[in-house]
Amino acid sequence: MPRKTLHVAMTFGLWAALSCGPGARKQTEEGVKVTKELFGKTAEGQDVDIYTLRNKSGVEVRITNYGGIVVSLKAPDRAGKLDDIVLGFDSLCGYLGDHPYFGAIVGRYGNRIAKADSG
């Protein structure tokens, strides 16, 4: 999947999950905020961005365009206090090293089956 298409798919999917997921109140577009910022650079000098999606209730997810890594997901507990429920790293450096693909939706086998034989 081309990188730009992956960005759009991830953004739309996360927006839908945050605004229309099970138990969520119906949100308007005004209740959802999406921001983009530089998260770091790979060893080859390629920019890695992080997208933050937040709904009206304050639920927030942060996801990169580097493997679709979910860096953070802040969700409310029983008392309504938001806390991060994702295990991972605070910076890109941790994701560039040897790790078990924390939070990645595209792991080491991404695009390895694109032209696989279906026989």
| C-alpha span between 83 and 93 (Å, rounded) | 23
- pLDDT (tens digit per residue) in 26-68: 445 678 899 999 999 999 999 999 999 999 888 999 999 998 9
**Average pLDDT of 110-116?**
63
- pLDDT (tens digit per residue) in 60-107: 999 999 989 999 999 998 898 999 999 888 899 998 888 777 888 876
The per-residue pLDDT for 90 is: 87
Q: What is the DSSP-derived secondary structure letter of residue 1?
A: -
CA–CA distance from 9 to each of 59, 65, 101, 108, 117 (Å)?
Answer: 19, 11, 20, 20, 26
The per-residue pLDDT for 31 is: 80
pTM of the predicted protein model: 0.66
H/E run at residue 14: helix 3-20
